[in-house]
Amino acid sequence: MSSSALTHSTIKNGWYSEVNDMWPGQSMNIEVDEILHVEKSKLQDVLVFKSKTYGNVLVLDGIIQVTERDEFSYQEMITHPALFSHPNPERVLVIGGGDGGVLREVIKHPQVKEAVLCDIDETVIRVSKKYLPDMSISYTDPRVTVHIGDGFDFLKNKKDYFDVIITDSSDPVGPAEKLYESHYYELMSGALRAGGIVSAQGECQWLDLPLIKSVTKFARKIFPVVKYAYTTIPTYTSGQIGFVLCAKDASTNFKEPLRRLSSEEELKLFKYYNSEIHR
């Protein structure tokens, strides 16, 4: 089927509209230039469209995951506060993140020797390689390996292995709901080496305070250090998204990066993150 013939229930009269019970009384709307891809994978509805002002947009189950215009603020902030807080992050695991954006940020760190991505849906990886090249370019790095499967099962078979685990999950509905439960955080703790760090998608302060309180409460029973960080990003609901940062080492100070780059290096590598934003 040609792209001009593609249709999707979220796109009407040239506009994508994101309406969901998780954020009642509001919606996100983006003007569409062209629908590029529509597919039902075994797990979720996958939509990619070219927008008028945000570049290509990836939507899963009716919720925006990334846009080419603003994705950097999310990818950088879920990644760099965690990696710069670890003294030597050699082994990094990304759960979810099939678009490759978090991986792109992970491999900017020369300390990283092994970057593993575990995503449950190969469709997201395949589609991202075609329509999101600035993010999926990360898959060409020789340090990267990909595992298609459930993150729970993957973690059960990895003990005391990773230095940093980043959970780039979707919202807590369907298969992703269990990624916001204490058992998952226990599995991540078990898969981390001594001094290991977690950075997990932590939802929106404006919409999800009860969930954020619940996650940080049980996380503090598992990790001695738990903090909540955030970034601003216009195409996520209410323009804000957070990250739950956890450390196995009680001396970890998430407000002070352990490695500093020059201002020139930061400007070259990052669009949003820098050491002052970290603090």
Q: Residue 15: which residues within 8 A CB-CB, separation 6 or more? A: 29, 30, 31, 32
Report helix, strand or coil for 275. Answer: helix
Ranges of H-type helices in 221-274? 263-269
Measure CA of the first residue to CA of the last residue in the chain; give whole Å: 50
Which amino acid belongs to residue 23?
W
Name residue 63's beta-bridge partners: 60
Closest CA to 93 of 162, 139, 160: 162
Report helix, strand or coil for 247. Answer: strand
Catalytic annotation present for 168: yes
Catalytic residue among 168, 171, 208, 249: 168
What the block records as the tokens of 84 is 């710069």
- Give the residue numbers annotated as catalytic, written as ranges: 168
